[in-house]
Amino acid sequence: MGETWANLGVDLHLETGGEASRHGVRKGLTDALREAVRGGRLAPGTRLPSSRSLAVDLGIARNTVADAYADLVAEGWLTARQGSGTRVAMGVPPGRAEPRARGRVVSPPVRPAPPRRQGGAPTYDLTPGSPDLASFPRAEWLKAARRALAAAPHGALGYADPRGRAELRTALAEYLARARGVHADPDRIVVTAGFVHALAVMGRVLRARGEREVAVESYGLDLHWNLLHHAGLRTVPLAFDALGTDVSGLGLGPGSCSAKAVLLTPAHQFPMGVPLHPDRRAAAVDWARRAGGVIIEDDYDGEFRYDRQPVGALQGLDPEHVIYLGTASKSLAPGLRLGWMVLPSGLRDEVLAEKEATGASCGALDQLTLAEFLTSGAYDRHVRAARLRYRRRRDQLVEAVAGRAPEVRATGIAAGLHAVLELPRGTERSIVQAANWERLAVHGLSGYRHPLSTTPTRDALVVGYGTPAEHAWAGALGALGRVLP
Amino acid sequence: MGETWANLGVDLHLETGGEASRHGVRKGLTDALREAVRGGRLAPGTRLPSSRSLAVDLGIARNTVADAYADLVAEGWLTARQGSGTRVAMGVPPGRAEPRARGRVVSPPVRPAPPRRQGGAPTYDLTPGSPDLASFPRAEWLKAARRALAAAPHGALGYADPRGRAELRTALAEYLARARGVHADPDRIVVTAGFVHALAVMGRVLRARGEREVAVESYGLDLHWNLLHHAGLRTVPLAFDALGTDVSGLGLGPGSCSAKAVLLTPAHQFPMGVPLHPDRRAAAVDWARRAGGVIIEDDYDGEFRYDRQPVGALQGLDPEHVIYLGTASKSLAPGLRLGWMVLPSGLRDEVLAEKEATGASCGALDQLTLAEFLTSGAYDRHVRAARLRYRRRRDQLVEAVAGRAPEVRATGIAAGLHAVLELPRGTERSIVQAANWERLAVHGLSGYRHPLSTTPTRDALVVGYGTPAEHAWAGALGALGRVLP
C-alpha cells in the first residue's frame, strides 16, 4: 500500500484551470490515474479517496471524479465494491511473457460454412463489418498522400524495415496511447497488411512455439477461426453470458481449456456488442500472468463509442501479456489493408520471422499517408465526424425497432458499426429469408456462432448500420422495419 | 506438319503498310508467328520459309524476318539448325498441369547466411536488387492515384476480391501479353503484396500438394530459398554453365532431381545475367509436360533489355506448366509491394486458398493507381526513360572496367539493373574488403551461391548499377574503379 490517498490530488498534476472542458478534465484525470496505477505509484489494493474528497482536493466537480473512477473500473484498473470503496485492482506486476508449454489437442478442426447472403444482389446492405465506404475521405487522403510523398526520403520507396515505416509506428504509438490507452512504443509496433495478416502471423508464432489450440469467443468470424486453423491450431470456444465472454473457462484447473492463448474483442464483443465485464478483464490478465499465457486483443472498432468515453484497451492493463491488434478497416476503409500489432517486449523477433515467412508487407505509400493522416489531425477529424454519423444511425435504428417491433430488442452497448437485434425464439431464419425477399442483405446471428460452442443458441440479427451510404440508409432502415415481426 | 509454308505470309494478317515502323513490323511479325505456333496453326516440326522468301511474300525487309525468327528461336518457339532451316520446335501440345506425385526428401534444409555489407553506412551503394529510387515518378504516380481514386466505385475501398482488383488484372493482362509475350487473361492473374508474397504462396501450394522439394538455380537469393524452406520445402540447386542453368538435372531418369517444381529466372538469370539458352527453355517445358511438373518463372526485370527486344517470357511457351511471377519492384519501386502471378487454369483455387491463409493482400489504392499508370501509358513512358538511363550506366560501367581493369570481364547480357564482373581467381573477398574501405557497398558473387551447389565457384562482383541516384552514379563508378585490380 505504498501511497496514501492524502496527497493523491497534488500528485496527479492535473491541468484543471483555464479552458479545460469538463470532458477534458475527466479524460485528464482518467489518464493520470491510469498512469499512476500502471507506473506502480498506486499499488494494487490501495484505497482511493472518495470521489467527494478528491473532487474538493482538485477543485473539480464530484461527478467528474465519479465518471473517471467508473471508466477505470470498466477498464479493470480499479475495483468498486459496496462498503469497500474504490481500490486499485489486485494483481501481480506486469512481467515478461514466459515461453509456452506444449498444448494438448482437445477439439476437432473447425471449418464452419461462412454466413451467406441468400439470393442475388441486394438493394440494401446491412451486413456488418464495413464502414460507410462512401464517406471515405478521398480528398483528404490524397492531400495527405501528396504531403507524405513530398516529405519521404528516397529510401522510403525501397525494400522496407519489416516492422513497417518508422513514421507510421511513431504516429501510431502516440495515437494509440492517447485514444485507446495502449502502452505503445514505436519499437513494439509491427505494421501488417490488415488485421487478418496480423492474426495469421500470430497463429504461426503460436504454432511455432508448439501450441496446438487457441481459445476463442463463442461468437466471432469464421474467417478468423479458419485462419488459425490454417496455421495448425484448433479453436476452442469459451462460453458467453450476460457479462460477456466467460474467461473462467481458461485456467490451470481440471476441466478448463488448456490453451495458452485466447483471442478476445474486449472493448466491444463481435458481434454480440457488449464490453468484457471489468472483473473478467482482470481475470483474463490474471490468467495470462499465472499460466504464462497470452491474450490477443482484437480492437477492431474501439474508436466508436457513443454514450461515454470508450473503454480503454485491455493491453494497457498488462502490455507484457496482451498482444494488441488494430486496423484502419473500420475507421477508414478495409481496402487499405492496413493493420498493426503492439507486442510484448520479448515477442518481436518471433513475430518478424513469421511475418517474413508470409512474404507480405503493407506498401510504403499507404503507410506514409496514414502517418501523415494521423499526425496532421485529419484522422481525428474523420473519426469524430464518422462517430456522429454512426451514432445518429444507431439511435434511429433503436428508435425504429422500438416503434415497429416491440418484441425485438436491440442489445449491446451504443458503440461500433453494428447492433444485435434479439428476435423471438425460432424466427431468425424466416426473418433473414423475408429480408432476402425485400432485397435486404442482413445476417442472422447463427452464422457467427462457433460450431463447438455450448452456449445456448439465440435468434438474432446482426445489423451493420455502418455499411450503407448516407443516401441508402433511410431505405435500408425502412426495409429492415418491414421484415421485423 | 499441318501447314505448308506456301500460304504463311498471307495467313499472318500482318499490318505492314502505312506508318508501321521497322521496329513495329518486326514485333508484329514476331507476335503473329508466336500466335500461330501457340494456337497450333503451325504444328511442331513445320519448316518455315526462308527469311528471304517470307520477306518477299510480305513485302518487308529480309533482316526484319531474320530478326523475328531469331527472337522466336531465343524464346524457344522455333529451332534453327545448320542445314535444316528454321522449324517450329518439337513438343507435345500444351496440356493441363497434372496433380503432383509425392516427392522424396533428398537434401538437408538450407539456411545460408545472407550477403552482407561489411562495415558501417556506405557512401556509395552498388548492391543489386533495387532500381534508382530517386527516379520514382512521384508526381506522375500521384496524378494517377488522383485519377484512379476519382474513378473508383465506393466498393473498391471495401473487402476485396482475393484475386486483386479487376482494373489491375485487366491492365496487367494487356501489358504482359504486349511487353512480355505472356499468355495472360485477367481471370488467371492474382495480385500479391510483392514477389516474395507470391513465392511464399506458391511454396505453400506445393507443400499442400505433398511436395517436399523444389529445384532452384545454383545462383539466386537466399531470401527466396529461405521462404521456400519456411514453407516446408527443400531447395535443390541445378548446375550452372555457359548456357545458363542446366535443366537436364530435372528429370525422370536415375540420378536426376526428383523435384516436381523448379524456380527459374529465364529472361535474365539472377545474378549471373545470362538468358536461359533456347534449347534449355524448350527442355524445361518438355520436362514439365512429361513429368507433370511446374516451372515458376521469376520475371523480375524482363522490361530492361538494352541490345535487342527482350526475350519473351517462358510462360508463353506453355501457360499450363509455367507460373509467371512479376513485380513492380524493379520497374517502379520495391516499396509499393506489388506483384502478380499468372496461373495455369487449374491452379487458381489452390493459390487463392493459400494466399488467404497468409492473411495478406495488396492495398486497393496502389492497385488502382498501377492500373491507371499502365492504361494511361505512364508506365511505358517511365520504363522507356529508365531503360535509357540504365543502358547508359551499363555502357559506362563496361567501358570503365575495360579501361581500368583489363583482367576483369563484365559478363552476361546487356539487360537489367546489375552486371557481373568476373575477377581473377581468389580476389573476390579482398576486393569486397577494399570496397568497404572505399565506403562502397558491393556484393561478392559467393553470397548468391546455393550452399549445396556443385557448380565450381567463381570470383566475381555483382554490381547493381541501377541502385544509385543519378548524382551519385559517377562517384560510385569512380569508387568501383579504384578497388578493381
What is the model's pLDDT at position A254? Answer: 67
Strands A460-463 and A443-444: antiparallel
Q: Three cell numbers at B299?
A: 520475371
Tell me the DSSP string of A306-372.
SSSSPPPPGGGG-TTTEEEEEESTTTT-GGG--EEEE--TTSHHHHHHHHHHHT----HHHHHHHHH
Residue B443 buriedness (CB in 10 A; 0-12 / 13-18 / 19+): buried
Chain B CA closest to residue A360? B197
Cα→Cα distances B334→A444, B59, B193, Å: 43, 45, 10
What does pTM read for this prediction? 0.82
Q: Which residue of B has its CA nearest to A149?
A: B138
Run of H or E including B208: helix B195-208
Q: How many CA atoms lie within 13 Å of A3's alpha carbon, on the beta-carbon side? A: 21
3-class state of residue B359 by DSSP: coil
Considering only the beta carbons, identify the residue of B130, B136, B154 that sits closest to A159: B130
| Residue with grid cell 509506428, as numbered in its chain | A169
Q: How far apart are CA A322 and CA B433, in angstroms?
A: 46
Q: Map grid coordinates 485487366 to a residue.
A: B170
Q: Please tell me which residue, A434 or A72, carries the higher pLDDT value.
A: A434
User: Any residues with CB less than 8 A from the CB of B456 and at least 6 apart, and which?
Assistant: none
Q: What are phi and psi of B274, to 5 degrees?
A: -105, 155
* Interface A:B, Cβ pairs < 8 A: 168
Cell of B442: 558491393
Q: Are A341 and A192 in contact (CB under 8 A)?
A: yes
| Rg value, chain A, Cα | 23
CB < 8 Å to A360, chain B: 192-194, 196-197, 200, 337, 358-361
Residue type, A103: G
Give B-chain residues touching A362 at CB under 8 angstroms: 193, 337, 363
pLDDT in the model for residue B310: 83
Q: Provide, as residue numbers in chain B, all residues whose Cβ is less than 8 Å from the Cβ of A364.
A: 333, 335-337
In the block, cell 499508370 appears at: B373
The tens-digit pLDDT sequence of chain B (485 residues) is: 334 444 565 556 554 444 456 667 787 888 888 877 777 667 777 788 888 888 877 878 888 888 888 888 877 788 887 677 888 887 634 332 222 333 322 233 333 333 444 445 789 999 999 999 999 999 999 999 999 999 999 999 998 899 999 999 999 999 999 999 999 999 999 999 999 999 999 999 999 999 999 999 999 999 999 999 999 999 999 999 989 999 999 986 666 788 999 999 999 999 999 999 999 999 999 999 999 999 999 999 999 999 888 889 999 999 999 999 999 999 999 999 999 999 999 999 999 999 999 999 999 999 999 999 999 999 999 999 999 999 999 999 999 999 999 999 999 999 999 999 999 999 999 999 999 999 999 999 999 999 999 999 999 999 999 999 999 999 999 999 999 99
State which residue of chain A sits closest to B162, comparing Cα positions: A335
Residue A72, CB-side half-sphere exposure with 13 Å CA sphere: 28
Min CA distance, B398 vs chain A (Å)?
26
Is B158–A193 a contact, with Cβ atoms under 8 angstroms apart? no
* B257: phi then psi, degrees, rounded to nearest 5: -70, 135
Cell 463489418 appears where? A129
Which residue type does B287 have?
W
Pairwise CB contact (< 8 Å): A129 & B198: no
Nearest by CB: A199 against B142, B158, B359:
B359
Which pLDDT does position B311 carry in this prediction?
A: 86
- Within 8 A of A230 by CB-CB distance, chain B residues are 356-357
Task: Decide: helix, strand or coil at residue A155.
Answer: helix
Exposure string over B369-393, b if 16+ CB within 10 A, otherwise e? bbbbbbbbebbeebbeebbebbbeb
**Three-point CA angle B74, B387, B312, nearest 5°:** 20
Q: Which residues of A touch B141 (CB under 8 A)?
A: 149, 365
Of B130, B357, B366, the CB nearest to A365: B366
CA distance A127 to B284: 49
Chain B nearest-CA distance from A99, in A, is 22
Tens-digit pLDDT profile for residues A81-107: 777 788 888 763 433 222 233 332 223
**A282-296 mean pLDDT:** 96
- For residue A139, is pLDDT > 90? yes
Which chain A residues contact residue B159 at CB under 8 A?
129-130, 334-335
pLDDT of A302 reads 93
Distance from the A285 Cα atom to the nearest Cα atom in chain B, whole angstroms: 27
pLDDT band of residue A9 (cuts 50, 70, 90) is low
Q: Are residues B365 and A336, on separate chains, in Cβ contact within 8 Å?
A: yes
Q: What is the pLDDT of residue A104?
A: 29
* Mutual angle of helices B62-75 and B51-58, in 10-degree steps: 120
Residue A270 CA to residue A264 CA, distance in Å, equals 9
Instruction: Evaluate if residue A461 carries a pLDDT over 90.
Output: yes
- A28 or B132, which is more confident? B132
Distance from CA of B77 to the nearest CA of A (A): 34
Residue A67 cell numbers, joined? 465518471
Q: Which residue has the higher pLDDT, B179 or A110?
A: B179
CA distance A251 to B148: 52
Distance linking the first and last C-alpha atoms of chain B: 57
C-alpha cell at A129: 463489418
Task: List Cβ neighbours of A85 (8 Å cut-off, separation of 6 or more).
Answer: A47, A48, A50
Q: How many CB atoms lie within 10 A of CB A152?
A: 23
Q: What is the pLDDT at residue A109?
A: 34
The predicted pLDDT at position B315 comes to 97
Closest-CA distance, A366 to chain B, in angstroms, reads 8
| Mutate which: A197, A352, A361, A382, vs B, most B CBs within 10 A | A361
Taking only the tens place, the pLDDT of each residue in A422-450 is 999 999 999 999 999 999 999 999 999 99
Q: What is the pLDDT of residues A240-283, one digit of tens each?
A: 998 999 999 998 666 678 899 999 999 999 999 999 999 999 99
Mean pLDDT of chain A: 87
* pLDDT for A252: 64
